[in-house]
Structure 1
Amino acid sequence: MKKLIFVALTVFAGAFTYSQDDTKKAEELKAMLGPKADSIAAIQGRIDAIQGEIDGLPGWRKGIFGTIGANLSGSNNWYQQATPNNSAGNIGIALNGFANLKKEKYFWNNSANVNLQWVKLQDKDAENPAEDADKFNPTTDVINFTSLFGYNLSKKFAVSALGEFRSSINEFNNPGYLDIGIGATWLPIEGMVVVVHPLNYNFIFAEEDAAYESSTGAKIVVDYTRQLGAVNFKSNFSTFQSYKSGDLSNWNWINSFGYTLWKGIGLGFEFGLRGNKQESFALGANPGATLATTDANTQSYWLFGLNYSL
């Protein structure tokens, strides 16, 4: 019995000694880690300062990133759905690019956004299933080009002129929107542009002229484009407020994200929102209504898939 107690005490004393040694070693390592963490923070601070100087230099800034999403599926004898034998596919492409010129006295910012999506559903039990075997129908179709020129009054403010064109590829200029106006631009932080143009004309091109009306109004744009490490981010909010009638106003908000995992390849996500009462009226979203009584239904789209950035 005495031997067992002696052995137990010996093991306990050894474990206690080792525990003290481990605790002491951990404290020594933590003491060493403190200065190293401070050094890393100082290095990162110098890197950020250098990058800030680079961002402030005159010249062109260019970039492009895009997302590709695809989904293919099929079923055979799956009787719990309306088309038990089918093949389906969904393909989407989103591209975002910018080319910005920065000079001491002026700047010229250009950007483009394209989002195209197609879907196919082939019913193998149809009378002639070959008719739509290779047919992909467009679901989302967005093109948007913006050009902003500004003459600097200070580092943060400029007088500016803006041109913005929005339409689609399959129904080009049906409708199409062209905003041209002048006013002021605020540059609060790197990558952000806030445009306020009280003198703007909203041209609308469409085959159904009776449903659309061009007008004078105010144009407001908030754009933020940034690359933070492996993340590409762009958010653009654009609205036209008609002086003639609120029924002729419209707004668009598009957000794009890209996360790089390896050699420019990663994951991407884009979603867009739109409010346009004239489009709701022209497409008969509220049958029997007039423009004044039409509800301005919020439109939306989204795309998730692989992303590639340059």
Structure 2
Amino acid sequence: MRSVYLFLTVVLFSSLASAQTIEELKALKEQKQDSIKLLEDEVKFLTEQIDNVKGWQVGALLTGGISISQFDNWYAQESPNVNSGKIGFNFNGFANLDRDAYFWKNAMNVNIQWVKFDDKNDPNDNEGFREATDVFNVNSLFGYKLSEKFALSAMAEYRSTLLSNFNDPGYLDLGAGVTWLAIKDELTIVVHPLNYNFVFSSSDDIFTSSTGAKVMADYFKKWGDLKVKSNFTGFFSYKSSNFSNWTWTNTLAYTLWKNIGLGFEFGLRDNKQEALNYAINTLGIPDADFDNVDNALQSYWLLGINFSI
């Protein structure tokens, strides 16, 4: 009988000791969790401090694409003997500086493409590569912060082409207004009601400089291996809607291995002055004017290999 009592006593004390050990382990776990949370908060705070004091942030997306084909005696098409090809690249770069009192954002977009269509049955056609897409855009935005979200700002933006007709036409916007930092490091919206649009061109009777409002929205976001960049820039003339213009570009970059992946960009543009210049000086329509010109929506796209910097 004494053995039974002794056995029960040992079991009871063992249970009490086990229960005490579990409670102690739970308490220790809670202490460790609190310590981990404290360390995570400290790391987050230090990261924010580093972001606040670090200098220029620089980056770029480069997309290149190439397509070459040859047809011999392919009678199903209008030109059965053809050598054709398309080569192009797109560059999106930025250099940004963010301080407690001010910021300075700079960006550049270049999109250039060449196409070749050599009809071997036509000795008079152009056998070489010709410019197909030619886009050059650079802007610089400086802002003095009124709060975390809003700033007084000034911006300069230049748009033209590089391969041919550089600065003919060329557009230079200089203006001031306000900037809304809607989402930090992601979405910036600029509204400058005081803006002058300088237009440089040899066709002064078509292209006209004027005052107006400048609007720009720039968005950049990264989801895992996918990067998305979208930029809208528009000038709205106070003199006449015929002198207004806007451009919207969108870039997608998906990383497959290290900094290499697939890239896609498409752009839309509306500019009635360019449409009229094309109708008169390229199509040879002498009686074309702002009232009857066919101002079709301009667009381009490029798909190819992407390299991120």
The more displaced of 54-63 and 180-189 is: 54-63
**CA deviation string 1:198-222 (max 9, x = no partner):** 1000000111111110000010100
Contact 1:67 1:306 in 2 (8 A): yes
Matches of 1:51 and 1:215 in 2, distance apart? 48
| Structure 1 position 83, deviation (Å) | 1.9
AA aligned opposite 1:150:
G
**CA deviation string 1:109-164 (max 9, x = no partner):** 000000000001122233378x72xx110111000001000011111111111000
Of 247, 255, 277, 2:242 maps to 247
**CA deviation string 1:184-205 (max 9, x = no partner):** 1110112211111010000001
2:64 aligns to what?
A: 68
**If the length of structure 1 is used for normalisation, what is the TM-score?**
0.80
Matches of 1:176 and 1:250 in 2, distance apart? 13
Corresponding residue SS for 2:56: strand
1:5 aligns to what?
A: none
1:291 aligns to what?
A: 290
Corresponding residue SS for 1:209: coil
Say yes or no: does 1:124 pair with 2:120.
Answer: yes
Matches of 2:294 and 2:132 in 1, distance apart? 22
2:93 aligns to what?
A: 97
Say yes or no: does 1:147 pair with 2:144.
Answer: no
Of 82, 90, 95, 1:86 maps to 82
Say yes or no: does 1:57 pair with 2:57.
Answer: no
Matches of 1:65 and 1:73 in 2, distance apart? 27
Matches of 2:202 and 2:46 in 1, distance apart? 50
Number of residues paired by the alignment? Answer: 265
Contact 1:107 1:150 in 2 (8 A): yes
Say yes or no: does 1:197 pair with 2:196.
Answer: no
Say yes or no: does 1:174 pair with 2:171.
Answer: no
Say yes or no: does 1:161 pair with 2:184.
Answer: no
AA aligned opposite 1:172:
F
| Structure 1 position 82, deviation (Å) | 2.3
The more displaced of 52-61 and 86-95 is: 52-61
Bigger Rg, which one: 2
Say yes or no: does 1:112 pair with 2:108.
Answer: yes
Counterpart mapping for 1:225-304 below 5 A? 225-284=220-279, 287=285, 288-304=287-303
5+ long unaligned stretches in structure 2 = 1-32
2:180 aligns to what?
A: 186
Label 1:186 to 1:128 Cα distance change in 2 as closer, same or farther (>3 A): closer
Label 1:226 to 1:49 Cα distance change in 2 as closer, same or farther (>3 A): farther
Say yes or no: does 1:138 pair with 2:128.
Answer: no
Q: Identity of counterpart residues, as a percentage?
A: 50
Label 1:159 to 1:290 Cα distance change in 2 as closer, same or farther (>3 A): same
Contact 1:63 1:97 in 2 (8 A): yes
Matches of 2:165 and 2:46 in 1, distance apart? 43
AA aligned opposite 1:300:
S
Corresponding residue SS for 2:183: coil
Contact 1:247 1:292 in 2 (8 A): no
5+ long unaligned stretches in structure 1 = 1-38
Contact 1:93 1:117 in 2 (8 A): yes
Say yes or no: does 1:307 pair with 2:306.
Answer: yes
**If the length of structure 2 is used for normalisation, what is the TM-score?**
0.80
